[in-house]
Amino acid sequence: MSKSLSRRSFLKKAAGVGAAFPFVERFPEVFIRKRTSVSSIPIILCSRGEEWGKKVMTPGWDLLSGTGDLLDAVEKSANVVELDPEDMSVGYGGRPNEEGVVQLDACVMYGPTHNCGSVMALENIKTPCSVARLVMERTDHIQLVGEGALRFARAHGFTEANLLTEEARLRWLKWKENLSDKDDWFPPADGKYEHEEEDEERTNGTINVLAVDKNGDVAGITTTSGLAWKIPGRVGDSPIIGAGLYVDNEVGAAGATGRGEEVIRTCGSFYVVERMRGGMSPQEACESICKRIVDINGGPVKVKFTDKFVAVNKNGEVGCAAIMGKKGKEPKASFMTEDGIKVIKATYLIEKPEEDD
């Protein structure tokens, strides 16, 4: 039996009911061409392509490649995007909830102690992952939410700020005023907004930063402003340990972006790490969770959302797979090693429909 066929039958066996869907044929191609990204440690990886990847990972890489600390490396990297108002899906400048208030979710996990910390629905603090780190290091708890998380941040001297930028406010207002013609909010008489982008995707951000240091120790952070226009208090997968992030020092780390509800109900990042523990490569493990999510939703015809997973194992091998993608516009991740920055194009299960472009 050829290698490709045995891969196929393995997938079908593993896939159970979902094996009937034709899309299962897509990933085996990936197994055949198999990632040659066998990498090295130290390594830092983030769930963005080259442009953001470079900005975000450089401070982390500078620490990892020198004598810097692993947790500092992932934190300083994640802070870059949290503090940048240009990014509208993480930290300062993130899209607000349905009331126009920015509520941030973030978590951190540290392999050597298997400890973790998380904040949810945190307002007014630009760097939620740094607060999550303090929850991990300076409390006996793992999760703090809302007002309690804010008070904790205040106690540690974080400065409060309005996180809603003009750009985010204008986008929110446009959404709000066009929701219904049965409420009391009207769009401008000429229908024109300063900001004219149509049909914004509500889930299109978040960042995962994962790293393995010289000793093979592993850590990760996930940080986000979550689903745009969410119901106040909604918490996605990003700050949930095992969903938006999971780290195991014997195995590696994984992180998720995209529709959080699906990632929560599959314990997505935990699933990826456990599959790596069972012998899968990071790439195979990322693909297997995408397939699992599509299967439990009734197959590709029913799936109208996407999730993307990134993973790294202790040896510095990386993986990235998504539910949806488009040829030439594949979702991306990137990583840095002593060989510089490299971009990984995600493999994906479902070709994104034309109208989603």
Binding site for ligand ASP (CB under 6 A): 89, 203-206, 224, 226-227, 236-238, 257-258, 260
- Residues 102/96, Cβ–Cβ less than 8 Å: yes
Q: Name the residue nearer to ligand ASP (CB basis): 77 or 224.
A: 224
Residue 236 CB, nearest approach to ligand ASP (Å): 2
Residue 332 CB, nearest approach to ligand ASP (Å): 14
Specify the DSSP class assigned to residue 241: B
Q: Name the residue nearer to ligand ASP (CB basis): 205 or 316.
A: 205
- Of 92, 164, 93, 167, the closest CA to residue 130 belongs to 92
Q: Name the residue nearer to ligand ASP (CB basis): 256 or 312.
A: 256
- Residues 245/223, Cβ–Cβ less than 8 Å: no
Residue 8 CB, nearest approach to ligand ASP (Å): 31
Residue 237 CB, nearest approach to ligand ASP (Å): 5
The kind and range of the H/E element at 59 are helix 50-65
- Residues 294/323, Cβ–Cβ less than 8 Å: yes
The residues that are catalytic are: 206
- Of 352, 348, 222, 224, the closest CA to residue 286 belongs to 348
Q: Name the residue nearer to ligand ASP (CB basis): 205 or 331.
A: 205
Neighbours of 226 (CB within 10 A): 29
- Residues 37/281, Cβ–Cβ less than 8 Å: no
